[in-house]
Amino acid sequence: MSALHELTAEQGVAALHAGEASAAEMVDAALARVEDDRWGSFLAVDAEGARGRAREIDALAERPPLAGVPIAIKDALSTRDLTTTAGSRILEGFRPVYTATCVERLERAGAVVIGKTNMDEFAMGSSTENSAYQLTRNPWDGGRVPGGSSGGSAAAVAAYQAPWALGSDTGGSIRQPAALCGIVGMKPTYGAVSRSGLIAFASSLDQVGPFARTVRDAALLLSHIVGRDELDSTSLDWPEPIAVPEATDLEGVRVGVVDELMGDGVEPGVRAAVDAALARIEGLGGSVERVSLATTEHGVATYYLIAPAECSSNLARFDGIRYGPRFDDARDLLEHYEVTRGEGFGPEVKRRVMLGTFALASGYYDAYYLRAQKVRTLIRRDFDAAFERVDVLVSPTSPTTAFRIGERVQDPLAMYLSDVCTIPSSLAGLPSLSIPCGLSDGLPVGLQLAGAAFSENRLLSVAHALEAAIGFDPRPPGVL
Amino acid sequence: MSGPWEAVIGLEIHVQLATRTKMFCGCDLSFGDPPNTHTCPVCLAHPGALPVVNREAIRLGILAGLALGCSVPPACEFHRKNYFYPDNPKAYQISQYDAPLCVGGRVAVLLPDGRDLEVGITRAHLEEDAAKLVHLGAGGRRAGAEASGVDFNRGGTPLLEIVTEPDLRSAADAGAFLRQLRQTLRALGVSDVNMEEGSLRADANVSVRQAGERALGTKTELKNMNSFRFLERGIDAELARQTALLEAGGRVVQETLHFDPDAGEIHSLRSKEEAHDYRYFPEPDLVPLAPDQAWVEELRASLPELPVARRGRWYELGLTYEDAEVLSETAELGEYFEQVAELAEPKAAANWIRGELRAQLREAGQEPWESRVTPALLAELIGLREDGTLSEPGAKEVLAEVVRTGASPAAVVEQRGLGQISDDGELTALVERLLADNPDQAEQLRGGKDKLVGYFVGQAMKATGGRADPARVGQLVREKAAG
Amino acid sequence: MIDDATVRHVARLARLRLGPEEEARMREELSGILEHVERIQALDLDEVPPTTHVVELLNVVREDEPRECLSQEEALREAPEVIEGMFAVVKFE
Ligand SMILES: [Mg+2]
Ligand SMILES: [Zn+2]
């Protein structure tokens, strides 16, 4: 058996059930990896709590399904008594009184939360550089970003600090960091996973999803968190259990390559890796055709109206009255609000709150927010039409590999445009995942696969067969 | 401009619905409990907490809407109304905007002067109540407060906001409408409708225009008047202010106003902050509601007789507006009256309940429906009075005994020999004896001094312990004197 | 695209205090983003209904049954300032 921290979650569960290791040992191995703080992936580590829960699980007569395997949780998810900041100063030191439903379900299934991972403040960003607390470094190259906003979770899994992690994805915040860190990341169908306890960025887009080093682990993690939750009115009864995939070929699978996402903006090295993956698909018996999603070109514009509009309202509750630090000794209420929020939020959050407030303001609503909601309808129709012809749509997850720390912070629009591949399926509420499909100049390239609503099982099967054919080695040089 | 002026008034009424739990979370509702003991992550707006709609609030909202003649559209949705205030923890209120629960109603209001007033109901929609702000220090008044505290117990209470068309023409109309609305909502059991406790709150949109004019004048909004008296006084004060302003050649400015009942003055609530821009947008955390039309019909069929219909019926029984007002104060009192009126003459029943019965019970601290005086016993007493068995004082005395013991009035009359003497033979003998015993007065009476009839009636009452029928005695005295 | 007065108005609506430099930068950045966003103005959307929810759910409600509330202590534990069992707010007029 390899070192405990090198096991996949699936292998870890098996080892625990077989009595080859204890949860306490498994958690200790993860915590030892976390102590190596080269990557800045964690904002809070709950070593004591994690060890305690591992011992409790070890003492049980019968191990729960996940048997005591450790997990890292994005700091956007509320965890009772464990500091939860969403990467923002406005929640510095905040200890929630309740736990997010998805985390609770995992804990009940026997997963052990070891800590909370770094993120762009309130999940706004694509590099994790917008965290109010620290930078996170890409395990493949410490001078580069891990992507974002769930960069901490992606880096933790890529650096073997945890076999898997939870992230949240609003316009690509799971898939893009997964791509940049050479791991698997999935955003499920909107409504698949309860949002109760997920600190809201854009309510109509936010979804919780898994990070893992294998597609099978991602499927296993997802299987424990999907389904209706009475605390989230938009959560869905899940039609069938999420299965851990077994498929080895793609016989009969129709794959569409999104024309608009294979254009000039895609780096040559990324294109080469994606083309190689397409050849593998055909090698496994799948068919590949080109598909047009014409409205894709409006995706970023639409997204950057809807998401900020919702965020401007969602973030209005942070006012320094019921929780959060106080930054002022204001003389009146207006000053209190303005100073608390002016000091408590970072530049990117302020930018989006401003943009969203503008899009909803009287006189602008029809031209911006309402129009964006209508374009959203067109984008959904485009996907509906495409899925009449194909089963899965593929594209690069990100047009580039991991960029240098600091490279894009001065140009918000350039940062936004890098979400071009992941945004359309978010707007349509569709499931979509990223798997590593090769390296370009030593940096991972992600392949995005998107499916129709509720097609998670097929998507995971295709991804699993392809993953095996690609044979990507997830170990970044020098990390283990 | 000059008069005559016409007042144009519309009301926006917020009613706390009588659910067990809050609109969007499972916290139970309370009144007067220690602060912040009825809260959860949802109603404290903790990060990540989401609203879930209370089904009972929908049911009560639809019931109220149907009673106001509204229709219930096949679908409605929630919007966010964004504004910052410490009593609004999410900084948005979940409310309904362009797709409310109930629309387009109409109610007939019966006014004190017998007129019928038709009032249009624009809409009735669901929303959540704000928390309570408590201004501490400096006498607790907001202006000089040292600090303020927020208590979220009330925050998130289900509210039904009812908006009327500007169909009211005076403060008295507005008061009459609101009274009838309160009776209606109470009869339905959808709310406690207590203005003092804040479960019924009214804002008024007030404007004036020259009589005969079609266009509406500029309106002002009078906020949160917490009693019927203040509502009427506030509207009157605002109408007077606007009229004086217009007559002096001024212009009404659209603004929000507050009526100070102590000073009888109107104050502007405009602060240095800029005008509100609520940035309404559809609430992404909630999905649309599509009330099942069969369910709506079931609710419609379950509506009790509405106060306005009952009043119409009562007027036909001979009751006055005041009778109806008093008997409508509580559902129980109305029901008590109905039961008495089944067995006795209705107008007499109303008089007895409003007058002697409540007066006697007040001393005992009882309400009629919980007293020993069952509707049947009261009806029996009224019957004894109506058929002349009991005199007025006699009936009151019997009632006192019934209040005390719950005995049958007929039995009390029997036992105490309280029956009125109306037997002509007995009364004739009595009158003859009295004339004989008082020859001087009898002489003067015969001489035409009519005042002395009263003297002999008084003597007769005295002689019978009040049981003689005074009207008949008077008649007999005159007959005998005329000889 | 967007002027100083609009930036100030929107910042006030959002209750964000911006320094003078922050305000100028915000105007530039928002203008750049809005310029990109302008492309959706060209689309013919007259006949297109808006998408508010991607899930087609209706009537998701809960029964009117009480759940356990937080204790006062728990409710107040993260508050920066407490007064007489309540969340303290700055004195205001
Ligand atoms: Mg309202
Ligand atoms: Zn609550």
Chain B environment of A309 (Cβ under 8 Å): 281
Length of chain B, in residues: 483
Q: Any idea what the Cα angle at residue C11 is, between residues C7 and C13, rounded to 5°?
A: 120
Tokens standing for B365? 């601290």
Chain C environment of B142 (Cβ under 8 Å): 93
Contact assessment for residue C61 and residue B54, using Cβ atoms and an 8 Å cutoff? yes
Q: Cβ separation of A354 and C32 shorter than 8 Å? A: no
Tokens standing for A17? 């059930």
- Ligand 1 centre to CA of B296 (Å) is 24
- How crowded is residue C61: how many other Cβ atoms within 10 Å of its Cβ? 17
CB-based burial, B235-273: b 16+ in 10 Å, e otherwise: bbbbbebbbeebeeeeebeeeebebeeeeeebeeeeeee
Q: Cβ separation of B25 and C89 shorter than 8 Å? A: no
Q: How far is C13 from chain B (nearest CA, A)?
A: 8
Q: Cβ separation of C80 and A301 shorter than 8 Å? A: no
Q: How far from B217 is each of B210, B211, B214, B243, B253, CA to CA, in Å?
A: 9, 11, 9, 11, 10
**Mean per-residue pLDDT, B159-177:** 96
**Ligand nearest to the backbone CA of B221:** 1
Q: Cβ separation of A234 and B89 shorter than 8 Å? A: no
Q: What type of residue is B320?
A: T
Contact assessment for residue A33 and residue A5, using Cβ atoms and an 8 Å cutoff? yes
Output the CA torsion B434→B439→B444→B447 (10° steps): 100
Q: Cβ separation of B48 and A195 shorter than 8 Å? A: yes
Contact assessment for residue B267 and residue B258, using Cβ atoms and an 8 Å cutoff? yes
pLDDT at residue number A188: 98
Distance, in Å, from the CA atom of B39 to the CA atom of A322, rounded to the nearest integer, reads 12
Say whether residue B49 is in contact with chain A using an 8 A CB cutoff: yes
Q: Any idea what the Cα angle at residue B428 is, between residues B425 and B429, rounded to 5°?
A: 85
Say whether residue B285 is in contact with chain A using an 8 A CB cutoff: yes
pLDDT at residue number B143: 46
Distance, in Å, from the CA atom of A141 to the CA atom of A155, rounded to the nearest integer, reads 11
Residue B456 has pLDDT above 70, yes or no: yes
Chain B environment of C87 (Cβ under 8 Å): 36, 86, 149-150, 152
Chain C environment of B34 (Cβ under 8 Å): 72, 85
Contact assessment for residue B460 and residue B435, using Cβ atoms and an 8 Å cutoff? no
Closest residue of chain A to C62, computed from CA coordinates: A230
pLDDT at residue number B270: 63
Residue B240 has pLDDT above 80, yes or no: yes
The closest of B300, B289, B290 to B70, measured between CA atoms, is B300
Closest residue of chain B to C84, computed from CA coordinates: B149
Say whether residue C9 is in contact with chain B using an 8 A CB cutoff: yes
- Ligand 2 centre to CA of B425 (Å) is 79
The tens place of each residue's pLDDT in chain A, 480 residues long, gives 689 999 999 999 999 999 999 999 999 999 999 998 899 999 999 999 999 999 999 999 999 999 999 999 999 999 999 999 999 999 999 999 999 999 999 999 999 999 999 999 999 999 999 999 999 999 999 999 999 999 999 999 999 999 999 999 999 999 999 999 999 999 999 999 999 999 999 999 999 999 999 999 999 999 999 999 999 999 999 999 999 999 999 999 999 999 999 998 999 999 999 999 999 999 999 999 999 999 999 999 999 999 999 999 999 999 999 999 988 778 889 999 999 999 999 999 999 999 999 999 988 999 999 999 999 999 999 999 999 999 999 999 999 999 999 999 888 888 888 899 999 999 999 999 999 999 999 999 999 999 999 999 999 999 999 999 999 999 999 999
Name which of B36, B46, B82, B157 to mutate to probe chain C: the one with the most chain C Cβ atoms within 10 A of its Cβ. Answer: B36
The closest of B392, B387, B377 to B467, measured between CA atoms, is B392
Distance, in Å, from the CA atom of A464 to the CA atom of A469, rounded to the nearest integer, reads 9
Which helix (H) or strand (E) is B15 found in, with range?
A: strand B5-16
**Mean per-residue pLDDT, B217-222:** 93
Which helix (H) or strand (E) is B145 found in, with range?
A: none
From B53, B55, B149, residue closest to C89, measured CB to CB: B149
Is the C-alpha dihedral spanning C73, C79, C84, C85 positive or negative?
negative
3-state secondary structure of A209: strand
Chain C environment of A302 (Cβ under 8 Å): 40
Distance, in Å, from the CA atom of B349 to the CA atom of B472, rounded to the nearest integer, reads 25
- Ligand 2 centre to CA of B39 (Å) is 4
Distance, in Å, from the CA atom of A225 to the CA atom of A222, rounded to the nearest integer, reads 5
* Residue reference for tokens 């009035």: B409
Q: Cβ separation of A342 and C89 shorter than 8 Å? A: no
C 34-53 residues with CB below 8 A of B?
52-53
**Mean per-residue pLDDT, B162-171:** 97
**Mean per-residue pLDDT, B115-130:** 96
What is the share, in percent, of chain B residues with pLDDT greater than 70?
96
3-state secondary structure of B264: coil
Chain B environment of C91 (Cβ under 8 Å): 145-148
Distance, in Å, from the CA atom of C86 to the CA atom of C88, rounded to the nearest integer, reads 6
Distance, in Å, from the CA atom of A170 to the CA atom of A166, rounded to the nearest integer, reads 14
A 213-252 residues with CB below 8 A of B?
230-234
Distance, in Å, from the CA atom of A246 to the CA atom of A232, rounded to the nearest integer, reads 32
pLDDT at residue number C93: 53
Residue B113 — very low, low, confident or very high, per pLDDT cuts 50/70/90?
Answer: confident
Q: Is the predicted ipTM greater than 0.85, yes or no?
A: yes
The contacts of residue B437 (CB under 8 Å, 6+ apart) are: none
Higher-pLDDT residue of B364 and A287 is A287
B452-464 and B424-437 helices, crossing angle to 10° = 120
Chain A environment of C40 (Cβ under 8 Å): 298, 301-302, 305, 371-372, 375
Residue B274 — very low, low, confident or very high, per pLDDT cuts 50/70/90?
Answer: low
| 3-state percent breakdown (helix, strand, coil) of chain A, nearest 5 | 40, 15, 45
Contact assessment for residue A412 and residue C33, using Cβ atoms and an 8 Å cutoff? yes
From C30, C51, C78, residue closest to A94, measured CB to CB: C78
Chains that touch B (3 or more CB pairs under 8 A): A, C
pLDDT at residue number B425: 84
Residue B335 has pLDDT above 70, yes or no: yes
Name which of C9, C15, C57, C61 to mutate to probe chain B: the one with the most chain B Cβ atoms within 10 A of its Cβ. Answer: C61
Contact assessment for residue B157 and residue B129, using Cβ atoms and an 8 Å cutoff? yes
Q: How far is A148 from chain B (nearest CA, A)?
A: 20
The closest of B54, B63, B131, B62 to B101, measured between CA atoms, is B62
Say whether residue B97 is in contact with chain C using an 8 A CB cutoff: no
Strand ranges (E), B75-188: 79-82, 92-95, 102-110, 116-128, 132-136, 147-151, 158-164
B148: β partners: B135, C89
* Residue reference for tokens 């104050």: B267
Q: Any idea what the Cα angle at residue A391 is, between residues A389 and A393, rounded to 5°?
A: 90
- Ligand 2 centre to CA of B158 (Å) is 12
Among all residues of A, which ones are annotated catalytic? 74, 149, 173
Chains that touch C (3 or more CB pairs under 8 A): A, B
pLDDT tens digits, C37-78: 999 999 999 999 999 999 999 999 999 999 999 999 999 999
Chain A environment of C50 (Cβ under 8 Å): 370, 373-374, 376-377
**Ligand nearest to the backbone CA of C62:** 2
Q: Cβ separation of A341 and C14 shorter than 8 Å? A: yes
**Ligand nearest to the backbone CA of B161:** 1
The closest of B40, A452, B61 to C61, measured between CA atoms, is B61
- How crowded is residue A219: how many other Cβ atoms within 10 Å of its Cβ? 26
Average pLDDT over chain B, rounded to an integer:
90
Contact assessment for residue B157 and residue B29, using Cβ atoms and an 8 Å cutoff? yes
Higher-pLDDT residue of A353 and B213 is A353
Say whether residue B277 is in contact with chain A using an 8 A CB cutoff: yes
